[in-house]
Amino acid sequence: MLKYHKETQKNFSVRIVRWYRLNSRNLPWRENNDPYRVWLSEVMLQQTRVEQGLPYFQKFVKKFETIFKLASAQEDVVLRLWQGLGYYSRARNLHRCSKIIATELNGEFPASAKALQRLPGIGEYTAAAIASISFGEKVAVVDGNVFRVLSRYFGIEVPINSSEGKKVFSTLAQQQLNESPDPKLPPGEYNQGIMELGALVCTPRSPRCADCPVSAGCFAYNKNLIEDLPVKLAKAGKRERYLYYLMPIQGKSVWMKKRSQSDIWKGLYDFPCIESDSELKAAALKQKCKSMAGHGEVALLGSVTHLLTHQKLFIACLTMTGVNEVSLKKNFEGKWYTQKEVVRLPKPKVIDDLLKIYFKKISQGK
C-alpha cells in the first residue's frame, strides 16, 4: 500500500458530505428515505447507470405503489416491466424479497444491514446502502465508485476485483465513517456523496479533478497517476455461441417457450433454438429445422450479433409456417401465443427486436 498524507485524510468524509449537499442530482429516490423506494432504486442500479435505471424506477413505483402490490403481482408481470434492464435475476429476487417482507415481516424492512443482507437480492453493498440511507446506520458502502475514489485518493494499488482488494477497500471505507472528525456525520449522505463524486467527478476516464472537493489531498492527482488507478485484474474472454432461432408461425400465433435453465435470460421467453459452438451453413440449418418442426416454409427473418458481458452471441432467426405441431412438440417446449399475448410476455431484448421486425413485416402485408 502506498503512503498518503494523514492531515488531508482526516477531512475526507466531511468534505465529501459538504460537496454532496451542494452538488447532488435531483433524483426521485432521494425525495425521501422510504426503505421501499431506496431498496427498489438500489437493486435497479446494481451494475446499472442512473440514467438507464431511472425510467424503470418511475414505472415500478407507479405500478407498484407499495411493497404489498409488488408482492401480489405475477412474476411474469414483474419481469415484463423489468424487460430491457438486464440481469433478470435481480427482478426475480426483488419479487421474492417483496413476498418475504409483505407476508413475514408485516411489510416492514429490517432496519440493520446485517438483517437486510439475509434477504434475496440484497448483498453487502445494497444492505449497507439501505441501512445507512433509510435507517442512519453507520455502515459504509463499497461499489464501483467507492473503489475508484478511494484507490485514487489514498493511492492504493491492490486490484479492486481481487479478494484482498475487497477487504482493503471496505476497511478503508468504513474507517472514513468511524474516524470522521464529525461524530454526527450522516452515514447516508457520506455514502451517497462518495458515490455521487465517483459518478460525476472522479469518473473512470477523464475525471474532472478541477471540480473535485478533495483533489488537494488526492494521491493520484498529486502524483499524476489518475489514469493508472484503480488497478484491475484482467477478465476472462467471452464465450462465443451460435443461436439459431426457429420462429414457428401459425396464423396470428407464434410458438414461444420460457427459459428455465440456469443460463442467460432465465425466466424470459424465446423461440425454439438450435445451438452450436460454430457457424452452421444455411443448407444444414434449413435441413435441421425441417427435420425438427416439420417440412414447412422456412425464411430468414434476420441475423444479429448480440454482446453480453461474458458471451458473444451470433443469432439468426428463421420463420417457419406450415409446421408439423407433433414434430415441433416432440423437439421443443412451449406453446402458441397470440400476437396480443406475445406482447405481454417478458422477453430478451434481441427476441423483442426480432418480433418487432416480424410484426412490422406482416402488418405491411409481407
Q: Which is nearer to DNA, 232 or 286 (CB)?
A: 232
What's the distance, CA 150 to chain centroid?
23
Q: Which is nearer to DNA, 27 or 225 (CB)?
A: 27
Nearest to 24 by CA among 16, 35, 36: 16
Nearest to 64 by CA among 87, 101, 95: 95
Terminal Cα distance for the chain, rounded = 65
Amino acid, res. 16: I
Kindly state the smallest distance separating residue 323's Cβ from DNA, in Å.
26
Q: Name the segment binding DNA (CB under 7 A); options: 5-13, 73-81, 172-180, 346-354.
A: 346-354
**From residue 155 to residue 174, what is the string marking binding to DNA with x (rule CB under 7 A)?**
-------xx-----------
Residue 260 near DNA by CB under 7 A: no
Q: What is the DSSP string of 259-288?
A: --SSSTTTT-EE--EEEESSPPPHHHHHHH
Kindly state the smallest distance separating residue 93's Cβ from DNA, in Å.
6
Q: Which is nearer to DNA, 286 or 349 (CB)?
A: 349
Single residue of 8, 93, 175, 327 touching DNA by CB under 7 A: 93
Residue 264 near DNA by CB under 7 A: yes
Nearest to 295 by CA among 338, 252, 328: 328
Query: Is 62 within 8 Å of 68 (Cβ atoms)?
Result: no
Query: Is 259 within 8 Å of 76 (Cβ atoms)?
Result: no
Residue 78 near DNA by CB under 7 A: no
Single residue of 16, 17, 40, 45 touching DNA by CB under 7 A: 45
Single residue of 121, 155, 248, 296 touching DNA by CB under 7 A: 121
Kindly state the smallest distance separating residue 117's Cβ from DNA, in Å.
7
Nearest to 197 by CA among 186, 185, 212, 182: 212
Task: Tell me, yes or no, if 42 is annotated catalytic.
Answer: yes
Residue 262 near DNA by CB under 7 A: yes
Residue 204 near DNA by CB under 7 A: yes
CA 364 to each of CA 141, 173, 229, 332: distance values in angstroms, whole numbers, following the listed order: 53, 58, 54, 30
Residue 27 near DNA by CB under 7 A: yes
Q: Please tell me the distance from the alpha carbon of residue 165 to that of residue 158, in angstroms, as a whole number.
A: 5
Q: Please tell me the distance from the alpha carbon of residue 241 to that of residue 312, in angstroms, as a whole number.
A: 6
Kindly state the smallest distance separating residue 365's Cβ from DNA, in Å.
29
Q: Please tell me the distance from the alpha carbon of residue 86 to that of residue 348, in angstroms, as a whole number.
A: 8
Kindly state the smallest distance separating residue 53's Cβ from DNA, in Å.
8
Q: Which of residues 129-148 bind DNA (CB under 7 A)?
A: 129, 143-145, 147-148
Q: Which of 31, 42, 164, 297 is catalytic?
A: 42
Single residue of 61, 101, 113, 127 touching DNA by CB under 7 A: 127
Kindly state the smallest distance separating residue 310's Cβ from DNA, in Å.
5
Single residue of 186, 308, 327, 336 touching DNA by CB under 7 A: 308
Single residue of 309, 340, 363, 366 touching DNA by CB under 7 A: 309
Q: SS3 of 198, please?
A: helix
Which set of grid coordinates corresponds to residue 182? 464529525
Query: Is 334 within 8 Å of 247 (Cβ atoms)?
Result: no
Residue 210 near DNA by CB under 7 A: no
Query: Is 297 within 8 Å of 270 (Cβ atoms)?
Result: no
β-strand 335-338 against 253-258: which pairing, if any?
A: antiparallel
Where does this chain bind DNA (CB under 7 A)?
A: 27, 29-30, 41-42, 45-52, 84-89, 93, 120-127, 129, 143-145, 147-148, 162-163, 192, 195-196, 198-199, 203-206, 232, 236, 239, 262-266, 306-311, 348-350
The residues that are catalytic are 42
